[in-house]
Each structure stands twice: as structure tokens, then as C-alpha cells.
Amino acid sequence: MYFIKQNIEMIQVIIAQLNIKIQLCFTAYNLLEKTV
């Protein structure tokens, strides 16, 4: 049970990091679109 909880927490951290990268990509894309 402990291992499952630990894995879920690791997965949540990975998902959070992916979300931050996706948001940064969208922000950069929007900034590029405005300058063009």
C-alpha cells in the first residue's frame, strides 16, 4: 500500500511538471504569434 501511495505521488509530480512545460510552450507560442 505504501508503495502505491508513493507511486501516485511521483506520478502527480511528473504530471505537474508536464503541465508547467505545456503552459510555458503555449505562452511562448502566443508571444511569438503576437510579434508576427
Q: Rounded distance, CA 17 to CA 1, Å?
A: 25
* Residue 20 in grid coordinates: 508547467
Per-residue pLDDT at 36: 73
Query: What pLDDT sits at residue 34?
Result: 87
Residue extents of the structural domains in the chain: 1-36
Neighbours of 24 (CB within 10 A): 10
**Amino acid, res. 20:** I
Q: State the pLDDT at residue 19.
A: 98
Please state, in angstroms and as integers, the Cα–Cα distance from residue 29 to each residue in 7, 9, 15, 20, 26, following that order.
Answer: 33, 30, 21, 14, 5
Q: State pLDDT tens for residues 1-35.
A: 688 899 999 999 999 999 999 999 999 999 999 88
